[in-house]
Every structure is written in C-alpha cells, then in structure tokens.
Amino acid sequence: MFGNKVITDTHKIDELFGRYVQAVFPSKERAKEILASGKKLRFYLGIDPTGPDIHLGHSTNFFVLKKLIELGHEVVLLIGDFTALIGDPTGKDTARRALSSEEINKNMRSYLKQALHILPKGKFELKYNSEWLEKLTFKDVIKLSSHFTQQQMIIRDMFQERLKADQPIYLNEFLYPLAQGYDSVAMQVDGEIGGNDQTFNMLVGRTLSKQLLDKDKIVITTWLLEDPITKKKIMNKSEGKYISLNDKAGDMYGKVMAINDSAVIPLFMHATEVLSSSIDGEIHELSKTQPMKAKKQLAFELVKLHHGEKEAQKAKEEWENVFSKKELPENIQEVPGDGMKIVDFITEHALAPSSSEAKRLLDQGAVSINDEVVKEWSHILKKGDVVRVGPRKFLKVS
C-alpha cells in the first residue's frame, strides 16, 4: 500500500527503536531482525476519541509511526469509536465513564487534523473499530473470552489497587482489552504501537494474533511524558492538565512556558524531533544554567512543529510583550460584564470551571483587573476593564 519501498538499512531501523521506544515484544533484537527481512509490514496505533484533543504525550507514538512510514511499511491510525463506548480503565483507579455515540462523533472530527501535524498526508490508512466490533455476536465474544482467564485480567495493577481499596471492578472493564486485542486480529496487523500504559491491552492482542492468526505480532511501547522530579505525568488528560495539538499557537507557547523546569528535557526528548545530540548536549546544559531560556526554546520548537515557524515567531513575540514588557495581547475578546461581580464574570465566561474555583483564584491573587491584582469576590466590573486570570486568559468587559 502507498507504494513505498521497504528500507532495510540497519542504522535507520536502530533509529526507530531509539529515544521514543521504551520496550518491544517479543524483543528489540527479534523486531529488528523482522524489519531487516525486507517484508512490508502493517502496524497500527489506536486512539479512543475520549475528548476533542490529542495532547503532546501522544506525539511519541506519532513519531514512531512516521519512522515506520519512512521505512516503507504500512501504517493504520485506528479511531476507537467502539472501544470508547466501553471505557478503558488503564492507569485509572476508578472506572472511566463510557461516552455516548454523539460525544464520540464530536470528538472524532478533529483527530485526523491533529494527526497530520506529524504524519505525512496520504501515507497512512484511517480506520474505525466499530467496523468489526459492532458485528461480533455474543457467541463470538464468549469464544474470544475463552482465550483468557479471570486471573490474567485481575492481575492488572489498577485492578489490584481497586481491590485493596474495596472499589468496584466492572465486567465491561475486562472486555475492553479483549476488544482492543481483537482489533489486531480484524486488521491482521504485524505490529502495534502505544504508550507503556497500554502494554497489557496490546499484549492481549499479541496473544489473540498468535492463537487465531498464527502471527507473532510485534508490540512497541513508548515512553510516557513524566516529570523526573515529581514523577507525575506531564500531560494528564483526565485532570485537564495537558497541552493539545489543537491549541492555538499563542496558547501552546504560553502553556509550555508555564510547565515545571524539570519537564523541559522530557518534552524535548519525547515531543519534538530536535536531534538527540543537541538535547543531550547544549540544551541539557542550558536547562541547568538558564532554564527560562531552555523553556523558550522548547516552546518555539513545539509551536513551529504544530503551527509553522511564522506562527512560532509571532507567539514568541506576543509572550515577550505580555510577560516581559507587561503589554496586553492583541485582539482581546470583548464580552458582556458591565456591572457584574468579578466572581460571577469569571464563572460565566469560563475563565474558571466553577464559582468555588473562581473564588480560589481570587484568594490566591491570580486575578487582575487593568493589571492590578483583585481579591474581593464582590468587586464590580465596568465597561473597558481588562480581566486577566492566570498567566494567559484575558477578556475585556463590554
């Protein structure tokens, strides 16, 4: 498919398994041997449309897909429109809310556009797993489930944690890895790529591929973006703390500038294509001696990757004007608010998710009006006031 000649150059194959890849099953050595054989292989990445955004943490998977395309292999981007109905418990200590079909359809619309920030247009296939999962009968599901034991499912770390905490584990959560595993069978793939939090699910697909297709499916797990100091995820979608590939250039730049200094190197390594030698050398040194300068370089690189160099330069200049020169950004949105209390204004115009959060922001001094910090909840706004919440949110009162 797509007519690319398979490249067997060992140096390029080694690059594939470089900085973005954490582990490979059955092993890196065996996977390299298969890739060096010259056979055109078929790999896929699955993403459930649980929200409208793909975040920087997904970049790692897309870079691996891009390298596979460059090596001449077939690549499938699979939208899990069916599996999103079930809800994957991976990495959660509680069950994830299953989405409605309407929510899923809404979320799917922007996924392809964001994927094209990294993947070359026309060089990969787009599929939806409802195409085959909706056709399975109850008899089919029973037959699939017979390949696994209850003990194999319950051994997952997040289920063990829930058992200790006396929290429920629902049967549909056992079915999720089965459904994802069947994707590999339905598409008859040779390999799958995913974050290391998806290892269990991908290995279920490896087992099914071996038993039903006699295929030794390759599983490539990628690094999750983790702060080396706090040991927490840098991108946490469930908590709303992430930088989206869908963010506007200025928002993306500003969000990068707000991250912890310790997150700069992991983002350079796993969310950009900047040369590893530069990251290990000059950028690593810069992050220790001039962390703000390193962060600005990271913000520029990320915006350039997703929006182009012109937008990156514009975002950089606007951030400098607002934060270094204390100037206001251009084109501040005007919204009704004359005579409103500041706490009501913040909530109504979604500058905070709730009234209690708006009050917390005011108490912490995170709200200013015309560049003056305001903490009084009942402060009355007037026409022309410029309200700023946090480092990047501005609105003008009309």
Torsion of CA 311, 317, 319, 321, to 10 degrees: -150
- Spelled out in words, what is the top-level CATH class assigned to the domain 10-222? alpha beta
What gap in Å lies between CA 75 and CA 96, rounded to an integer?
28
> pLDDT, tens digit, for every residue of 331-383?
788 899 999 999 999 988 888 878 888 888 888 778 888 878 888 999 999 98
pTM of the model: 0.81
- Which burial class, exposed, middle or buried, applies to 142 when counting CB atoms under 10 A from its CB (0-12, 13-18, 19+)? exposed
> What does the pLDDT profile of the chain (398 residues) look like in tens digits?
555 799 999 999 999 999 999 999 999 999 999 999 999 999 999 998 888 889 999 999 999 999 999 999 999 999 998 988 877 665 454 555 666 777 777 788 788 889 999 999 999 999 999 999 999 999 999 999 999 999 998 988 888 888 999 999 888 888 999 999 999 999 999 999 999 999 999 999 999 999 999 999 999 999 999 989 888 888 877 666 789 998 899 889 988 988 889 999 999 999 999 999 999 999 999 999 999 999 999 999 999 999 999 999 999 998 888 776 666 677 788 899 999 999 999 988 888 878 888 888 888 778 888 878 888 999 999 988 889 887 678 888 98
pLDDT value for 266: 96
**Which backbone phi and psi does 369 adopt, to 5 degrees?**
-125, 120
What gap in Å lies between CA 149 and CA 97, rounded to an integer?
25
Q: Which CATH architecture has domain 334-397?
A: Roll (3.10)
Token representation of residue 71: 């090596």
pLDDT value for 105: 78
Sign of the CA dihedral 266, 90, 102, 241? negative
Token representation of residue 380: 């009355």
> What are the boundaries of each domain within the chain?
10-222, 247-324, 334-397
Q: Which amino acid is at 73?
A: H
- Spelled out in words, what is the top-level CATH class assigned to the domain 247-324? mainly alpha
Query: HSE on the CB side for 17, CA within 13 Å?
Result: 19
Measured in Å, how far apart are the chain's first and last C-alpha atoms?
56
